[in-house]
Structure 1
Amino acid sequence: MQPVIDIQDLSFRYREATTDALKHVSLTVNPGEWVAIIGRNGSGKSTLAGNIIGLLEPERGSVTSGHVTVSGLPLDDEHVWDIRARVGIVFQNPDNQFVGATVADDIAFGMENRAVPRAEMQQRVQAALSAVGMTDFAEREPARLSGGQKQRVAIAGIVAQAPDIIILDEATSMLDPAGRRAVIDLVTQLQQERHMTVLSITHDLDEAARADRIIMLAHGAVADVGTPAEIFTRGTELAANGLDVPFPEQLKVALRARGVSVPDDYRTEKGLVDYLWTLRSTM
């Protein structure tokens, strides 16, 4: 299977910086896969996202080495706009993405720039609104929506353009826990229905738990790669990289200290409760 994103030996340094923000990063993402990129602030997560879609051009920094290929196209001046047509990105603050006077206008904006016929555009706007549960808000002003609603509109604007890849760049970090779960549930549903590739840039391990695979960055370099179950059992390594240890793993440590037998493999909160309930029933 040919990767939909292929990054090989990529280094990047911002102008005036004395060290590289990315250091010889190599990774691949397969079609239809959900990959989470985790790491503390300053680890290079957003810099990586900017390099994938060509937002960080040489004038703003220095790509010292490496190659980026997206959907089989090399990231260069000739192909950058073709790549951007295949990738949609949702940023941390959706207010920075809004340009339309109404929700419907904003969702249509990207398609207008690509000269999508009006009849098709209207159909895609309605389909995107329906997909994110915002049909009743089509004529609302985006600025007057709640944080969760704004993120849904930002996602709808991307979905309407039918990209192959969605990048979530800390897209849930400004939401409360309920809003965060709602947005990630929505992305999960859309990914499954439309077989989209998702690249989630996050420090939220609950969000990362939805991924097929996790890549941990530290100081601009790849520190670890594995499934959520593999990564989340490495509590010491997570803590060393400024990340919270998932609650089930914290609970397992506390239970072991009290002599309770707990599984070595990663369990979700529900999975750990089920295990403990089964353990109790056999005592």
Structure 2
Amino acid sequence: MGNVIRVQHLNYTYPEAKQQALTDVSFDVSKGEWLAIIGHNGSGKSTLAKNLNGLLAPESGTVQVAGMTLSEETVWDIRAKVGIVFQNPDNQFVGATVADDVVFGLENRGVPRPEMIKRVDEALDRVGMTAFADREPARLSGGQKQRVAIAGIVAQRPEIIILDESTSMLDPAGRQEVLGVIRELKDELGLTVLSITHDIDEAAEAHRIILLNDGKINEIGTPSEIFSHGMELLRLGLDVPYSEKLKDALAQRGIAMPKDYMDNERLVDYLWTLHSTM
């Protein structure tokens, strides 16, 4: 598939800052891909997300989305292609009810009312929130609030969804709930997903991972390639997958462990096989 996003030599510096927030960042994203962008706090993840849809203007370099180069002339067309789900859903709510909130973006775009009603109903159904259409958003759980935020984006029918630390305020159950919705929507609608996160488990959902460090790309690779660095990720201010922590602990006790990355399921299979040969 072709590239839906192309970033070339992107640089950005915040006003009055002494150091660049992004330095010579270049990467492509294929249509339908799930790309995770990870890094420690302050590594430039959210700054990069905001440069992709014109919330921030690049200092230099180019950003292309769906074949359009980001500029003052194209920024609104690009924003129609890109939806962002932010960290705190309460900051995105504007409606008195769930349905009112989902319809808000469509009203701003002048979508005819019959089409609006159809899109709101479809979006709420897709995220499993139809029964909550008349509820106040403030009375929902964290996972439910993020589902509503996602519905508001899906109703606008973007090609790309950016999750900007969207699960960081949720408990593990809520996190899995939201990621499950995103997986289903991606497969059903053919969406491209960019996940801006410091959560290793969320990053493991991706096809590829960009590892950012102090505004620069440290590495681009598959989850297996990135996580194979194991405990070295701690030096970059990141967590390490549980399976890698367990491998390291077992290796320190003299048990022979493979160097390549294993998710939990593969590690269980390996340990079971190892146990059966002892």
- Note whether the superposition's TM-score is higher than 0.5: yes
Structure 1 window deviating more from structure 2 (264-273 vs 87-96): it is: 264-273
By how many angstroms is 1:2 displaced? 3.1
Alignment partner, residue 74 of structure 2: 79
User: Is residue 2:190 matched to residue 1:195?
Assistant: yes
Measured in 2, the distance between the counterparts of 1:77 and 1:237 equals 41
Deviation at 1:146, TM superposition (A): 1.2
The answer to whether structure 1 residue 245 and structure 2 residue 259 are counterparts is no
- Distance in 1 of aligned mates of 2:272 and 2:232: 29
2:122 maps to 1:146: no
With 108-117 and 88-97 compared, the bigger mean Cα shift is at 108-117
Q: Is the 8 A contact 2:225 2:261 kept in 1?
A: yes
CA contact under 8 A between 2:163 and 2:193: conserved in structure 1?
yes
Aligned to 1:48: 48
* 1:217 alignment partner in structure 2: 212
Percent of aligned positions with the same letter in both sequences? 65
SS in 1 for 2:28: strand
Instruction: Describe the superposition over 1:239-264 as per-residue Cα deviations: whole angstroms up to 9, x where unpaired.
Output: 11100111111111111222223232
RMSD over aligned Cα, in angstroms? 1.1
Specify the alignment match of 1:5 in structure 2: 5
- Give, as a single letter, the amino acid of the residue that structure 2 aligns with 1:154: A
| CA distance, structure 2, for counterparts of residue 13 and residue 87 of structure 1 | 23
SS in 2 for 1:200: strand
User: C-alpha separation between the residues in 1 aligned to 2:176 and 2:49?
Assistant: 22
Moved more, 199-208 or 98-107: 98-107
Deviation per CA, 1:141-198: give whole Å up to 9, x if none. Answer: 1122111111000001011111000000000000011101111111111111111000
Letter in 2 for 1:244: D
**Pair 1:269 & 2:264 matched:** yes
- 1:257 is aligned to 252
Distance in 2 separating the partners of 1:147 and 1:2:
35
Distance 1:64 1:194 in 2: 34
Q: 4+ residue stretches of structure 1 with deviation over 6 A? A: none
Work out the CA distance in 1 between the residues paired with 2:277 and 2:181: 39
1:34 matched to which residue of 2?
A: 34
**C-alpha distance in 2, partners of 1:173/1:120?**
33
Taking the TM superposition and a 5 Å limit, the aligned residue runs for 1:97-136 are 97-136=92-131
Aligned residue identity for 1:41:
N
Q: Secondary structure at the match of 1:199?
A: strand
Paired residue type of 2:35: V
Other structure's SS at 1:78 match: coil
| C-alpha displacement of 1:265 | 2.1
Structure 1 residue identity aligned to 2:101: D
1:90 is aligned to 85
- For these two proteins, the number of residue pairs brought into alignment is 278
Match of 2:224, as an amino acid? A
1:163-182 matched pairs, under 5 angstroms = 163-182=158-177
Q: List per-residue Cα deviations over 1:50-108 (Å, max 9, x = no partner).
A: 10000014xxxxx3320000000010011000000000000001111111111001101
Alignment match of 2:156 (pick from 136, 154, 161): 161
| Cα distance, 1:203 vs structure 2 | 0.1
CA distance, structure 2, for counterparts of residue 234 and residue 149 of structure 1: 35
Deviation at 1:133, TM superposition (A): 0.8
Structure 1: unaligned runs, 5 residues or longer = 58-62
For 1:4 and 1:238, locate their aligned partners in 2 and report how far apart those are by CA, in whole Å.
Answer: 29
Moved more, 230-239 or 9-18: 230-239
